[in-house]
Structure 1
Amino acid sequence: MHTSQLALLRLARGGAVALIGTAVITGVAYGAAQDAANGSAIDAAYGSATHASAQTHTAMGTATHTATASSPNGAPYRTAPAARGSQRVGGLLDVAYDDGAGHTRSYRLSCGAATRRGAGRAATADACAQLDTIGGPAPAVPAGQACSMIYGGPQTARVTGTWQGRTVQESYRRTNGCEVTRWNRMVPALPNPVADASRTAPVRG
């Protein structure tokens, strides 16, 4: 084969290789461009969907907040105060007192918001105020409570009725230090035997 023919053959082969290389490069570039375009479109679509979802959640949150924070007429809801009659005030107590020396007496204590001054006795207002202070008739001394053996007198009392809506049935005596203290907490709802004794004691000349 002549030299000129060999040169032409080599030139043809080189051109073919160059064309193949160009085609490969072009294909790769085109694929990359397509991938980029598709990726951008997917990202844009995902971003739009995410934005729309966020807007939906925001709208739902706003609607929920509006529904829970406002009444149908648009005014804010307010927690209604407890009804005034939901808690009973004061009570009605019957007291039976025995001084232990053959003298008894009974009286009624009527205590309430509208009758704070009480009814039936001049000392009822003070008695009701004392009961308010100690939270109602003093409860019984706990079983097993250690008490001093100080005798306070033969007096006894029985208190029955209601206080702040609960039933009251309490007995009082003055047989030891605990019972004397319990009785004294109830004065003037219960008589004060010491004061009564001082008023009735004979005057010595």
Structure 2
Amino acid sequence: MRIMGIDPGLTRCGIAVIEGPKAGLPGSIGSPKPTFVAADVLRTHPNKDLEFRLAEMSAQLNEWVERYRPEILLVERVFAQHNVSTVMTTAQVAGLAMVAAASRGIPVGQHTPSEVKAAVTGYGDAPKEQVQHMVQRILALPKLSQPADAADALALAICHSWRQGSAVATDTSIQTTAQQRWAAAERAARRTGYRAGRGRMGKKSS
């Protein structure tokens, strides 16, 4: 199953594609780990007017979706109660990604940062460096994905692959089962929901 992950942002937008086993197929549990296809960071210049930046980002997103034809597209769901302008631009880019998928009949899903971190590292508050290292190990990459936005997009795609229960890492030093990863993600999501009510959520650069 080809999965595209998008870590939305207007100045830097992480985007990545992996191949994961087909969800729901007999014998899918215990199948090979997800494999790397592509990853990059899409950029727009902060000195340009918003409408031109959005147009540029839309063109780049559509190019990637058209080139790699994912079977599902995942967008990071970002919660924040401060820095409204940043949240707005992040939401706008997420919307562009959803439209790019919907216009081609590609389903869209969303996961929170805490869900993704817990699924990949086992810890919902893991730092970006730990996410990068785990993504490198899971996908057997020769080096860390740089910048971190690209690793975040890969982690998002990996998270969804494991949430579907369609992939279990064969390296038991990473994790033991997809279900255990997702159980950790669900616990992190519940903690995140509690923190959102206290205004302690993290911020994301546009």
Q: Structure 2 length normalisation: TM-score?
A: 0.19
Structure index of larger Rg? 1
Q: Structure 1 length normalisation: TM-score?
A: 0.19
